[in-house]
Structure formats: C-alpha cells, structure tokens
Amino acid sequence: MLWTAAYTAPLFAALVLLCMRPWNTAAGALLAAAALPALALGWAGGDLGGHRADSLLLGAEFGLDPFRASLLTFSAFLWSLAGGFCGPYLAGDRRRKRHDVFFALSMAGNFGLIMAADVPTFYGFFVLMTFASYGLVIHKGTGEARRAARVYLVMAIIGEILLLAALFLAVHASGSFGISGIREAVAESPLRDLTVALALAGFGVKAGAVPLYFWLPLAHPVAPTPASAVLSGAMIKAGLLGWYHFLPLGEASLPAWGAGIIGAGIFAALWAAAVGTFQTHPKTILAYSSISQMGVMTTLLGIGLSDNALWPAVAPALALYAAMHGLAKGALFLGTAVHAAGHLARIAVLGAHGIAALVIVGAPPLAGFVAKFALKDLAEHAPSVWAGLLPPLITVSGFATALLLTRFLWASTGASPQETKRDTEPAAARALPWALSVAAAAAGPFVLNGRHDAPVDFPSITAGSLFASIAPVAVGGLFIVVVMRSVAARPHVPLVPPGDFIVLIEKILGQLRRALRFGERINPHYEWLNIVQLSDRIIAFETTQAWVDRVEARLETWKWVGFFFILFTLGFLALLFV
C-alpha cells in the first residue's frame, strides 16, 4: 500500500488541484501532504522489500536500496516543505492552479523514478518529471521565463534522445527490463563505451554537467522559489541516479573513463564557482553553486568508476554528499523568499542562511565536513593521471565554494526591491518550513548516513582539519569584502551574463538564421516550434518545391505509404536485434 501511495498521492493531488479554486489556501497543505507517503517509504527503506504494480504500464516494478532510500527520503522531505511553502508564496497568483498541478506532477515523476526497478518505469517517470517541470520554469510568463523555458525544453529533448539510446543499448545488453542486472550487462557489452558515453551525456543534461548546464542559471531565477528549491535540491539528482543505474559501477574498472569524468567534474566545480561569483541575482548564484556541487559529485562518481574495488566506499559517500547538498540548497533557495523588516530579524535570517551555506562549504561539525573529508580520502586512490593533483584541486574547489556562497550572502542582503517586491508578504507563514529546512540541512544528512550498511565515518578533528575547513570560509569572506565591493555597487549588471556560453550560442544561431535568410520567413519568438508552419515555409522555398512535387506524386497511393511504413518498421526492429 505504501509503495502505491508514494507515487499515486502526488498524482491524486494534481487531480484534486485541477478541481480546486486557485485561491484555495488548502493547496499548499495538500502539496505538503502528498509527499508524506514517499517520505515514510524512504525512511523504511528496503525493509519493505519490493513491489510490483501489474496495472501500471507493462507491469511496473519498484524497489529501494540504501542509496535510493536516502535519495527518496531527503527528496520527499524537501518536496513536502516546498509544497507547504507554495501556500503563502503563491497567495494571489492568478496562475497558481497551473503551477500547483505541474508541481504535483513533477513530484510524482521524481518519486517514481527513484523507486523504479525496471527500465520502462524509470523512463516513464523520468519523462513525466522532465516535461512537467517545464510548466514550473515558464510559470511567470515573462520574456525571461519564456526564454529559459525554451532553452530548458531544447536541452531536455536532447537529453531524452541520448538517454533513450543509452537505455536501448543497456536493455539489449541485459536481455531484460530489470535495472538490477544493467550494470553487469553494460560492463560486459561490446558496446560498453558507446553506452557509457550516451548515458553520461543523456543524464548529464539533468545533472547540470558541463557543457550541458545552460538551462540551470536561466531557469532558477524565473521559476517560483519553491520550484527552484526542488529543481536544485531534488530533481537535479535524477541525473546522478541515472548514472548510478546505467554505468558499470562496481562491476568494471574503467580508469580512462574515470579519469575523464573526474576531469569534467573538477572543471565544473571550479568553472561554475568562478562564473557564479560574478552574478548578482541570488538565485542565479545558487544555480551556479548547484552546477559546481554536482561537479564535485561527478568527481566522486569518476573515482568509483575508475576502480570497481572503490565503489563500496564511494556509494555511501556519494549518498551523504547528495543528501547534504539537496537539503542545504533547498534551504538556501527557500530562504531567498523570506525577508524580515526588523534589524534583529534580518540578522536571524542572515544567520540561518549562513548555517545552510556552511553545510555546503564543509565547516565542522556539519555534514559537509564529513562528506568532503571522505572525498579527499578517496581522491588518494584516483587514477594515476590525477595522482597527487586531485587532492589539492579539491581543496581549491572548497575555496571556490566558499567564495561563491559568500557572494550569495552578500547579494541576499542587498536584493533589490524589484526582485523581492512580491516576495515580502506574508513572510511569517514561510518562516516555519524554511526553518525546518535549515534544521534538516544541519542534522538530516547524519541521520540518513547512519542508515547505510557501511556509513561514512566522522573524521577526527585535528588542528589541520580545522584549518582546512575554516580557511575557505575566512578567505571567502575577505575576498568578497575587499574585491567584490565594486560589483555589489552595481547589483543589476552581472559581469558574466547568466547562462554564459548560451548567450554566445544564441548569437551564433541568430547570425546563421540571418545568413540563411530565414528571418523574413520565420519569426523565432513563436513560430520556430510550430512544425506545421515551419514545414509549409520550407516547402515554399523554390529550391525544394520541385523535389516535393516529385515525391508527392509517388506518395499519392496508399500502397507507397504502406510500403515505406513497413520498411521503416522492419529497419527499426533489425537495429534492435543486431
């Protein structure tokens, strides 16, 4: 019963919300309650065994291991807090019903893909979460929201195509739809390297991996704050879960792939922190922080892939890091919509922000301190190409994280009235779920870590470890105060545009469109996704008209249509069985 309720409760909530009046104050409570069955299931973990739902899809199978139980628990807790936060945050929003429905559908997709134990179920819930999230990104309907949603949709479709190809190869190698045997099958497959490459790229879009992260800095500032919290705290981990399932972790040692993944992760950790430090919008800064922290988790994944003997130690460290980041980042995002009027209240808000930031930075004795020391210990066993180089780079990434989050704290204290005008009332109703999220960020990862069979040990606190943990915080504060004052004086002019390289890509595509003289025929603001109009205009080109006429003459009879349909189907089936 609990298995079924975990994914049906959000779907039921979406159905009820469709029938509710948009100003009904019970919507937030309903969203918060919809996540509770998944929270209970995650807390019970694998003690309940597995579950099969014959009536769902082709017969869906569900199950949990310690890694996924940890992921489900903190994700469900964050979804519940963010759902409760939606009530006061969206009070008076005329688009509230649409947001709440998409919020509930995204929640169902997130829970379902974590619990899924077969490939069709995993992919079905993954698609549900991906496309329901589009409604959260475009919610405000502004020009910035439409642009961010367009970039998100394009990147999501690219990711879906790549990961679907990876899933086909993995299932073909396994000979079964069950996820449990996928890793071993991929490790022994003659197409192992192609499968690994497709899985890395396909799930990398959702994980915000470099260079597939463009949508994150655009989506978070325009999405409602509760949506940003779950996008960055919970849904971004879907990419990590995909890698966990479909890479041959623990089954094969792939030092070349591991070294490459470590390089990509370290680059993401440093690059995103550097670019994010020069942003001005608090939520944009947090988006780049998520890219940076996912880079650190990618580095951990690369260490585990390089040597299968390391995976039993990497898995709990990765789960701890994911829980630490998810809860703390959710607290920071929710905190961007909590504002206080009095001087003491402002200090309290800033202090709570500081606690969540210190969790991610790795200050003792918080969970980030434990997770980052586990990472440093595992870095000693990295592939030879990174020998002696990875530990200092991890230390540098710690300094970069401190700079980035100190920049966030600075930007939060100086947020402009335009940014916070709609977010200031009713602040008191938002304070409780936000305070719970901060408390969960401080204590929750330790609780979840204790439920692993081989939990990450708390490192011994020495003078050296204290210095290594506190020094980034001190240097980050000093850098912001001394160097960033000039940037803070111009709070609405970021030195690097959000999305960085996407701006260049958009300019190149614009120049290409003008060079091909599409501009007079196609309005990119609303027609570029209209396939019917686009195809009509392409057919209208003089260079294609004659060719279309010849093809059309051959397709006028049904026998040719049937012939090409059968030919296509046979070709597709042949590819599946090669």
Tens of pLDDT, residue by residue over 100-149, are 999 999 999 999 999 999 999 999 999 999 999 999 999 888 888 998 98
Nearest to 366 by CA among 337, 327, 311, 313: 327
Question: Is residue 357 scored above 80 in pLDDT?
Answer: yes
> What are 381-408's pLDDT values in tens digits?
888 888 888 988 998 898 899 889 988 8
Q: Is 439 exposed, middle or buried (0-12, 13-18, 19+ CB in 10 A)?
A: middle
> What are 42-56's pLDDT values in tens digits?
998 766 677 888 777
C-beta of residue 300 within 8 angstroms of C-beta of residue 375: yes
- Tokens 């009046």, located at residue: 21
Q: How far apart are CA 538 and CA 256, in angstroms?
A: 45
The band of 555, judged by pLDDT with boundaries at 50, 70 and 90, is very low
> What are 446-500's pLDDT values in tens digits?
888 887 777 888 877 777 767 767 777 777 667 766 665 555 555 456 677 777 7
pLDDT of residue 515: 72
> What are 210-237's pLDDT values in tens digits?
888 888 899 988 999 999 999 999 999 9
The band of 88, judged by pLDDT with boundaries at 50, 70 and 90, is confident
> What are 409-440's pLDDT values in tens digits?
888 876 543 444 444 444 555 677 888 888 99
Q: Hey, which bits of 230-287 come out as E strands?
A: none
SS3 content of the chain, % helix, strand, coil (to 5): 75, 0, 25
Residue 348's contacts (CB-CB under 8 Å, 6 or more residues apart) are: 340
pLDDT of residue 410: 83
pTM for this model (two decimals):
0.84
Q: How far apart are CA 509 and CA 519, in angstroms?
A: 11
pLDDT of residue 457: 84
